[in-house]
């Protein structure tokens, strides 16, 4: 799915997740640094009591990666 920058806001992301995920689905979040595609889906999962959430930081927390962008 392509989302234009005009469509990138929290409520739109939450609505998309509400429409496409069921309680049986697993929410797989790849990465941790994207507000719209990492943080908001994790917040949605917590808000909706979605129990099956997998977060894959894919090396973003490794020492060498944090030395390049520590924030």
Q: How far is CA 50 from the centre of its chain?
A: 13
Domain ranges of the chain: 24-71
Report the predicted TM-score, pTM, of the whole model to 2 decimal places: 0.76
Looking at residue 39, its pLDDT comes to: 93
State pLDDT tens for residues 33-51: 889 999 999 999 888 877 7
Asked if residue 69 has pLDDT above 80, the reply is no
pLDDT of 70: 63
Direct distance between the N- and C-terminal alpha carbons of the chain, in angstroms, rounded to an integer: 29
Confidence category of residue 7, pLDDT binned at 50, 70, 90: confident
pLDDT in tens, 10-37: 999 999 999 998 888 899 999 888 899 9
């Amino acid at each position: 799915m392509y989302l234009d920058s005009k469509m990138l806001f929290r409520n739109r992301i939450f609505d998309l997740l509400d429409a496409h995920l069921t309680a049986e689905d697993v929410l797989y979040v790849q990465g941790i640094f994207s507000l719209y595609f990492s943080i908001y889906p994790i917040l949605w999962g917590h808000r909706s009591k979605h129990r099956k959430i997998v977060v894959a930081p894919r090396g973003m927390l490794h020492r060498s990666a944090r030395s390049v962008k520590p924030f």
